[in-house]
């Protein structure tokens, strides 16, 4: 059966990808951020999954704002990199895992989640930047297949934190019931605190971010009690992306160990972080 081996939460700021694409990671502005990734990248390279389930939001590049599903899953054989207005990122197209995707769609619908299915999908920085955080030099192809999981964090009303955590738990059950011996990693993306426009543009709330980084490991249920208004008030209008971290955490077992974390301000006008967890129940001989 498939098993979840690790989970990573990471910011997906587009400028992080641009810094890598334009060879600026050693520049004084960017070097502290990328230095913070090194321990996690080394560990992930030693624990490569067969499939990454990447929870992200589209930024009105593949999904028309006239029709925004609350939750969706890509089921395609492959996904092209989206042109976000200045050409696609110079990274490989993404190979899908359609058998696992279709299994997840069926299991989630049977688990009372109404899932939109994307048979064709271009993936933007919300998905490709986390892949680059994981694997900065993919060469001709990424080292694993991908199941894209889309969450609406842009158009009100967004799903609640509690619903996202419950979705993650259902995703975990679906993955563990897939009858192939696969190692699966789950990425939760977005955040941390940031606001891109309005009177509070540039908002960064380190106190809230560090609370979130602690509780995502030890007390994720406390984070599910926060309303969407709480997230926006504390972390900014775009900081509500943090509910996607709860999908990742819900998919993992209760028996996890923090491998590494890092927190950096600023990445553009955003607080950027990474938190990496091993799922100890996935080790050989342990049943989740």
Q: What is the pLDDT of residue 231?
A: 98
pLDDT, mean over the chain: 96
Query: Is 167 contained in some domain?
Result: yes
Asked whether residue 172 carries a pLDDT value surpassing 50, the answer given is: yes
C-beta separation of 262 from 286 below 8 A: no
The b/e string for 168-205 (b: 16+ C-beta within 10 A; e otherwise) is bbbbbebbbebeeebbbbbbbbbbbbbbeeeeeeebbb
- List 257's β-bridge partners, or say none: 278
Query: Is 80 contained in some domain?
Result: yes
Q: What is the pLDDT of residue 288?
A: 40
Domain of 72, CATH number, reads 3.40.830.10
280 vs 134: CA distance, rounded Å: 20
φ/ψ (deg, to 5) at 120: -140, 135
165 vs 224: CA distance, rounded Å: 7
Write a three-state SS string for 50-112. Answer: CEEEEEECCCCCCCCCCCCCCEEEECCCEECECECCCCECCCCCEEECHHHHHHHHHHHHHCC
CB atoms within 10 A of CB 149: 30
Asked whether residue 286 carries a pLDDT value surpassing 90, the answer given is: no
239 secondary structure, DSSP code: G
pLDDT 10s digits, 175-214: 999 999 999 999 999 999 999 999 999 999 999 999 999 9
Q: Which of 218, 210, 240 is nearest to 227 (CA)?
A: 240
- List 74's β-bridge partners, or say none: 118
285 secondary structure, DSSP code: T
Q: Which of 38, 147, 152 is nearest to 95 (CA)?
A: 147
Query: Is 264 contained in some domain?
Result: yes
Q: What is the pLDDT of residue 283?
A: 81
Query: Is 186 contained in some domain?
Result: yes
Asked whether residue 287 carries a pLDDT value surpassing 80, the answer given is: no
C-beta separation of 54 from 45 below 8 A: no
- List 6's β-bridge partners, or say none: 185, 278
What's the domain range around 100? 3-282
* 10-25: average pLDDT: 97
15 pLDDT band, cuts 50/70/90, is: very high
C-beta separation of 240 from 158 below 8 A: yes
Query: Is 288 contained in some domain?
Result: no
Catalytic residues: 125, 194
pLDDT 10s digits, 222-258: 999 999 999 999 999 999 999 999 999 999 999 999 9
169 vs 161: CA distance, rounded Å: 13
CB atoms within 10 A of CB 132: 22
Percent of the chain exceeding pLDDT 90 equals: 97
Biggest distance spanned by C-alpha atoms of the chain: 54
Query: Is 109 contained in some domain?
Result: yes
* 89-116: average pLDDT: 98
Query: Domain total for the chain?
Result: 1
| pTM of the complete model beyond 0.95 | yes
Percent of the chain exceeding pLDDT 70 equals: 98
Asked whether residue 128 carries a pLDDT value surpassing 80, the answer given is: yes
Q: What is the pLDDT of residue 284?
A: 57
φ/ψ (deg, to 5) at 215: -75, -25
Both tokens of 272, joined, read: 């950027």
159 pLDDT band, cuts 50/70/90, is: very high
Please report how the helices 206-218 and 243-251 are oriented relative to each other, as an axis angle in degrees rounded to 10.
20
Q: Which of 185, 175, 190, 184 is nearest to 245 (CA)?
A: 190
């Amino acid at each position: 059966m498939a098993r979840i081996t690790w989970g990573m939460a990471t910011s997906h700021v587009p400028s992080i990808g641009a810094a890598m694409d334009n060879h600026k990671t050693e520049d004084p502005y960017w070097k502290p951020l990328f230095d913070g990734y090194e321990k996690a990248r080394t560990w992930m390279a030693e624990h490569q999954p067969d499939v990454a389930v990447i929870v992200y939001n589209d930024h009105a590049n593949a999904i028309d704002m006239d029709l925004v599903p609350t939750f969706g899953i890509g089921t395609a054989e492959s996904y092209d990199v989206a042109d976000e207005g200045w050409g696609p990122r110079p990274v490989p197209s993404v190979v899908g895992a359609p058998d696992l995707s279709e299994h997840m769609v069926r299991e989630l619908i049977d688990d009372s989640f109404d899932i939109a299915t994307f048979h064709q999908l271009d993936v933007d920085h919300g998905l490709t930047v986390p892949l680059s955080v994981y694997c900065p030099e993919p060469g001709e192809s990424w080292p694993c297949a991908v199941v894209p999981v889309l969450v609406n964090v842009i158009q009100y009303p967004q799903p609640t934190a509690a619903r996202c955590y419950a979705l993650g738990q259902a995703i975990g059950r679906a993955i563990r019931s897939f009858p192939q011996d696969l190692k699966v990693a789950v990425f939760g993306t977005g955040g941390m605190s940031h606001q891109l426009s309005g009177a509070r543009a540039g908002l960064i709330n380190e106190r809230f971010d560090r609370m979130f980084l602690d509780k995502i490991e030890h007390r994720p249920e406390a984070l599910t009690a926060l309303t969407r208004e709480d997230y926006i008030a504390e972390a900014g209008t775009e900081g509500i992306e943090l509910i996607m971290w709860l999908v990742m955490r819900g998919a993992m077992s209760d028996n996890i160990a923090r491998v590494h974390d890092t927190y950096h301000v600023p990445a553009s006008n955003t607080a950027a972080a990474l938190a990496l967890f091993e799922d100890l129940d996935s080790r050989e001989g342990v049943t989740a």
